[in-house]
Amino acid sequence: MKTIKFIFAISIITLLSCNKDEDSTNDSRSNTRQFGIFKVLTGNTSIEMDGVIGSYSLINFNKLISNYPNIDEINIKNCDGSSDDEVNLQLSAKIYQNKINTHIMNEGLIASGGTDLFLAGRKRTKGSSTKIGVHSWAGENVTATDFNVGHAYHLFYIKYYVSVGFTQQQAEDFYYFTINVATADSIHWMTEAEIVQYNLITK
């Protein structure tokens, strides 16, 4: 699940997200090229990502990078969100700091926290027949749209988007689009025009 932490309220607002989790550093297909939801592809410079970002995802990614330091691209097959948003943002920061590109594979899908992670790519590309999903956040008795534009509660994700290369205006435009286009218990699949408008794919 996506979560958002407010410093002032010392509270966590949980965002509705996904249904499966990477719950272990061990994988049933475990081998020297498989690290949880990450698999090193032939050539040792790119990886395939398939699954929800969970509590062990950063640990597994660090192990992967330690063994394969020349990784420069993540090919996302399916990532419909995260069950640990703190780990998700730490992992995303690591991707951005290491100047790794992100790519959605043909017929690939990203949503919620998976979309946030995709945006950490220095270059962001996608194949054909892909799906990119976004939605709002909500907590107990509150939703994102309960708060006025510019409210401090909106800054968490706006600051994140700026940290991975968006301008302040681009970050605000995309964030407010996501919280208004779909409620927390639903999903909006972005159109090609929206993907261009909100700068999800780099030129």
Q: What is the pLDDT of residues 138-165, one digit of tens each?
A: 888 899 999 999 999 999 999 999 999 9
Q: Say what the pTM is.
A: 0.87
CB distance 17 to 82 below 8 Å: yes
Indicate whether 170 pLDDT > 90: yes
The whole-number average pLDDT for the span 106-126 is: 98
Domains of the chain: 2-197 (3.90.226)
Phi, psi dihedral angles at 109 (to 5 degrees): -140, 135
CA 158 to mean position of chain CA atoms: 14
Q: What is the mean pLDDT of the chain?
A: 88
Alpha carbon distance 120, 103 (integer Å): 11
Cβ contact 95:114 at 8 Å: no
User: Would you place residue 29 in the very low, low, confident or very high pLDDT band (cuts 50, 70, 90)?
Assistant: very low
Helices and strands in the chain: count of H runs, count of E runs: 6, 12
Which 3 state secondary structure label does DSSP give 126?
Answer: strand
Report whether pLDDT(24) > 80: no
Look at 20 and 68; give whichever has higher pLDDT: 68
